[in-house]
Amino acid sequence: MNTIPSSAPVRLIAWLDRFCRPTNSIAVIIAAWTILVLPLVFFRGFNSDEGVAVTIARSALEDGNWLTPHMFNTRFVERPTLLSWIIEAVSAPFGGVSQVTARLPVALFVLGGCLLIYALLRRLAATPAAALLGAMLFLATPLVVTSYVMVTADLPLAVLLFLAFVLWWDGHATDRLGLGRWIAIGVVLALAGLMKGPQPVAYFALGVGFFVLLSRSWRQIPGLMLAGTICVIPLAAWYWHVYVPGVEGQWASFMRLRAGAQLDGPLEAIFEIVKKMLPLLLFAGAFLWSEGFRGQGRVPPAFVKAALCYALVASVFVAFWPGGSHTRYFFPMVLPMCALGGLAYDALAARRPQILAPLICATSSVILYSLVYVAASPLLPVRFRSSKLDAAEVTRLVSTMPAPIYRTGATGLNVLPYVPGRILEVRPEQLETIKGPAWMAIPAIEADKLLAKRPHGLRAAKSFEWAEEWRLLYVEP
């Protein structure tokens, strides 16, 4: 009798099959999340544009502006800010917004995304190993790695939209798309819309709508309309609540309906997508190339079509949007591609382990990199917590001569949320008339001009951030 010689790929797949029982797989997901994500809640200082959501949450707790977002004393109504409202609710019992209360909701959404992918794959009759792989692909996607605890709406939004997709698919697959399910889908879509405005909901609307047209599932159209109506009602109510004449331009600029800052064009966007989603794209591609794509495996071909419609239809519109796009705009396509990538395990394990094993090793290397990144975070305070260190210095200086802090634009965006006390935004032309005692947090160029105009009663205290981008000035009484 001929036998197939044992090899490393075969042994790896065999070991994974034995290890990945349902209980073990869920334990691995929770353990991986605990090790890779949770430490960053404590050790990663605010960076990028996280200060926006944190400042809105802090301003609401300090001034009571819950429904109308404010950044300190300035209205910020370009979009609804559900993430900030969640942070406010989590922070309220503790008396204020902290790094932990700001980051924890996003970290929990990461865990929710992993478990949602796992649950969907198990519902598709995937093996525990395949379902675990799908969840781990989510943690190993570079775009997700850089957003583990990022206090921005993109990752929570993607998880909510995928939840709506899973609710829809489960109903479609079991022929149970009744009134209650469509209402639930509408509620989830409304929450997604409140994260960042109505445009990202197009991932569900265009994706599922295109699949309904392809499959001629005309009976679903009334349900889609009901879910859309439920989604629109709270969004319309919020926009009506915050509306003042002239705000239309701000909304149009945020939605890229008018010319603004030029972002990545289609070619640049596609390159960035491939670079920041490489592991899951390799797995998803391997699955589509395998038997499962041709409908000969255990996965319903309709699911593959539905997942691709959801992931790609809206992405094409985003990539070719006239004002350009940013990689984070494609976040909703990550979760369905992780699901397809997880299915590659069952499609390749038996017949092509020599292809599957290297892909698993490549994914594991990204996880290992993330582990090193997390392990380094408490040891490199300047690299990981520079904004918090700067905030401690600002707090020390201000405490010597307590007074309000005035800032212009986005100065100290990720530093000032840490600083206690009264902080007010002003226009640059107002700086010349501010009377002391007061502090000013302004860009270095503005600081030099102001010091030249007000040589008496104004002194520089210190410069902050990597290239001394802004300065703290003190206005004497």
Q: What percent of the chain has pLDDT over 90?
A: 71
Among 8, 329, 344, 376, which Cα is nearest to 161's?
329
As a whole number of Å, the CA-based R_g of the chain is 25
399-451: pLDDT as tens digits: 999 999 999 989 999 999 999 999 999 999 999 899 989 999 999 999 999 99
- Other Cβ atoms within 10 Å of 168 Cβ, number: 28
**Lowest-pLDDT range, 29-43, 129-143, 168-182, 442-456?**
442-456
Can you tell me the mean pLDDT for 119-147? 94
Residue 3 pLDDT: 43
**How many CA atoms lie within 13 Å of 7's alpha carbon, on the beta-carbon side?**
13
Residue 404 pLDDT: 96
pLDDT band at 19 (very low <50, low <70, confident <90, very high): confident
- The string of DSSP codes covering 233-270 is HHHHHHHHHH--TTTHHHHHHHTTSS--S--B-HHHHH
pLDDT band at 298 (very low <50, low <70, confident <90, very high): confident
**Lowest-pLDDT range, 91-95, 134-138, 291-295, 467-471?**
291-295
220-274: pLDDT as tens digits: 999 999 999 999 999 999 999 999 998 888 888 777 666 555 677 888 888 989 9
Domain positions in the chain are 18-376, 385-475
Residue 296 pLDDT: 54
350-391: pLDDT as tens digits: 788 888 888 898 889 999 999 999 999 999 998 999 999 999
Mean pLDDT rounded to a whole number for the chain: 91
Q: How far apart are the two ends of the chain, measured CA to CA in Å?
A: 96
Q: What percent of the chain has pLDDT over 70?
A: 95
Task: Report which DSSP code applies to 181.
Answer: H
Q: Containing H/E element for 280?
A: helix 278-289
Asked whether 149 and 37 are in contact (CB, 8 A), the reply is yes
Question: Does 2 score more than 50 pLDDT?
Answer: no
pLDDT band at 4 (very low <50, low <70, confident <90, very high): very low
Task: Report which DSSP code applies to 459.
Answer: E
Phi, psi (5° rounding) for residue 279?
-55, -45
Residue 51 pLDDT: 95
Q: % helix / strand / coil in the chain, to the nearest 5?
A: 65, 5, 25
The residue length of the chain stands at 477
Question: Does 452 score more than 80 pLDDT?
Answer: yes
